[in-house]
Amino acid sequence: MTDPRQHLSRRHALGTIATTVTAGLAGCNALSNDDSQEPNPPDYDPEAVGQIVRESFPAQPTVFPVQIPDSHFQAHASRTRDLLDSVPEEPNLPNGAIAKQIGRERAGLMERLGERGDEPTPRDRLGQWRYYRDHAAEVWGSYVAATGQYGPSEFRDRYQRLKSAYDAFESDWAYRGDDRPDALVVHATIEELFERGLDDVLSTGPFPSDPQAAVFEAGRMVREHEHAAANLEDARMFRDRFIDDQSAPSTNRLAFAATSRELRREARAEAHRGSYGPALEDGRSALDANLARGPAGTAFEHARNTARYADRAVERATERNDPATAILRATHQRHAMATFRDVVDAIRGDELTWPEDASELRELRSTTTQAIQTAWSTSPEPLAVELTTHAVGLLRELTHYHDEHELDEYDLARYVGTLNYARQYAQGVPERTSEVVHALRNE
Amino acid sequence: MPDWSRRHALQATGGALLTALAGCNGTDSASGSYPGENRTAVEDAVVLKVRNTTPTPMVVRERDSGDGEPTTEPAETTDAPPRHRGRIMAHVTDMDRDGLSPTFPADVAGADRFAAFFDETDFDTESIYLEQSPVPECYVRHLTGVYREPDGVEADFCRKVRPADVSCAADAYDMTAFAIRLPFAGDDFNSVGASHGSGCRRPRGDLIEPDQNHVVGPTDSGSSSDTNGGPSA
């Protein structure tokens, strides 16, 4: 496969399609942000374009360092069905509206359990099962609250058990794993499960003193506890299976903490590189270019929004003392800023505009896919795949959107702009992956 | 069609409110503007709330149709599905019977309470915010606030399901009406609104409830039935 980095300069990486039509649009970069002067898209063959935008992108490779055993999925499924089986199909409650709603929720969830999911990865499939299980717990919780079988003391007991289990997990969590980049990816996943679950344990208010008078509120609170329990089970499974075949796995907590400090420093420095501050702060008005409704506008907004707000996730991970997540988020923050600069350069160079025809649109799609696949195949793959998540997520949203919507000019601009942005982002992933690996090994 | 006086134009019955309530999951405003802007809470309102355990309106509005026969408002009182019947939202600033004014059917339980409430109101210095709408038998509606705006009044309501051990049918409706006596005449007002929240778990303001919530039924002649805080209120 050809590596697009080998023949595309940073500026031109965004403009392979655009260059062929630049001549026809000469002078566009002098235009103001005026809708009326927006260059219209070429007159595409709608059938060909429709076919291109509805094509799905390649599936994300399953390279996560922990393989989820079937028995673990089955445990979630079994728990989900047990919860639902404990609720009658047609609950017999004095309050007909409550009975009807619980029965309807139960039936709806039962139906969805029988549907085939299309989650892209095993971890996504696991998340789907957690969702089903939470939802089943809400139905069950509402029912047992309505029948007077579940009250504040039961809720308090479960809170204590969950809190103890979370405390025990945390005290025994040393971020073990012999392969540091793999450990980074695994423990970042565990951190996310742990934090979300712990939030559900700690953030709930007091259980209704009269659950029969607040059955749905009671159901929601039971759901939060179930979510916490399911998250902890998954976190434990990932941690235990990751070090299962390692005789004396090393601990990585201190190394991750030090690496995250270094990468956060670099991310902050990246934000001040070059003279891109006005474009970042003021948006389109800081650019002397016509962005309205065109692909450049979409690419710019993706790049700007990502670069502007990426620091929040870094801060959150740092505040929570989640070093693995902080490393990934700081890397994303730094890369988002670099990508933003590239997008701004391409816009200023008038390199980011409409493909001339459907075949050039297909070419854009193809080079974007290649960039994603090149990123995925970078070693170590689990880390590279994780760092590509942002771009892949945007492309997945595009596909879902076009599965359900008729294509119009705005949608097409969004498609072209998103492809350009995702490609640019993906092209930088191999370099970022190397940086993270280097930083981890130096600690 | 008779020429409605300006003060009678303050009403918004039936259709206008139905539109605002359609698909209501969170909060909707029937006044067409966002609640909370330029409005001040009316602190000293007097509230009458009555729930009729049938979907029969306790308040109707009659006007001269021009042919000598009175016309009942809202027109869909008898033809519409139960959940749409008897809706009234109005700011009543006088009881001028030449226009559109509230009447209280003598044979409907609870109507006499509203008749007395209106009789006790001095429309020279006071006015009444009137809201009536069907409520599913398994739900209860609460008033969470009443507000004065520069040119009108608005009230906030919420709705929540009744306890699980209350016997009620999912598809049955009762009628609930609120009459809120406001300490101003409101002659120069020209708007009236309501916002409806789907849950009372986190009301935007304190619950404003009358000292006594009255529940009346088909066999009840309207005698006092204080069920404040009780299962049916």
Contacts 24+ apart (CB under 8 A), B68-76: B73/B13, B73/B14, B73/B100, B74/B13, B74/B14, B74/B15, B75/B14, B76/B14
Selected residue with higher pLDDT from B178 and B83 = B178
Confidence bin at B207 (pLDDT 50/70/90): low
Confidence bin at A352 (pLDDT 50/70/90): confident
For residue A39, what pLDDT is reported?
62
Distances (CA, A) of A181 to A29, A62, A417, B178: 43, 16, 32, 65
The yes-or-no verdict on residue B210 having pLDDT over 60 is no
pLDDT, tens digit, for every residue of A92-107? 999 999 999 999 999 9
Q: Check CB contact under 8 Å for A95 and B201.
A: no
HSE toward the beta carbon, residue A315, CA cutoff 13 A:
5
Q: Where are the alpha helices (DSSP H) in A96-151?
A: 96-113, 122-146
Selected residue with higher pLDDT from B213 and B90 = B90
Of B164, B172, B201, the CB nearest to A98: B164
Of B162, B171, B201, the CB nearest to A95: B162
The yes-or-no verdict on residue A340 having pLDDT over 90 is yes
For residue A24, what pLDDT is reported?
25
The yes-or-no verdict on residue A153 having pLDDT over 70 is yes
For residue A225, what pLDDT is reported?
96
3-state SS string for B23-51? CCCCEEECCCCCCCCCCEECCCCEEEEEE
Is B168 in CB contact (< 8 Å) with chain A? yes
Residue of B nearest to A94 (CA): B167
Give the residue from B158, B165, B171 with the most A CB atoms within 10 Å of its CB, the best one to mutate: B165
ipTM topping 0.90: no
Selected residue with higher pLDDT from A36 and A346 = A346
Mean pLDDT of chain B: 71
HSE toward the beta carbon, residue B84, CA cutoff 13 A:
14
Closest Cα in chain B, distance from residue A169 (Å)? 34
Q: Check CB contact under 8 Å for A98 and B139.
A: no
pTM of the predicted protein model? 0.79
What percentage of residues in chain A have a pLDDT greater than 70?
A: 90
Of B137, B165, B170, the CB nearest to A100: B170
Selected residue with higher pLDDT from A21 and A350 = A350
Q: Check CB contact under 8 Å for A95 and B167.
A: yes
Q: Where are the alpha helices (DSSP H) in chain B?
A: 15-21, 111-119
3-state SS string for A368-405? HHHHHHHHHCCCCHHHHHHHCHHHHHHHHHHHHHHHHC
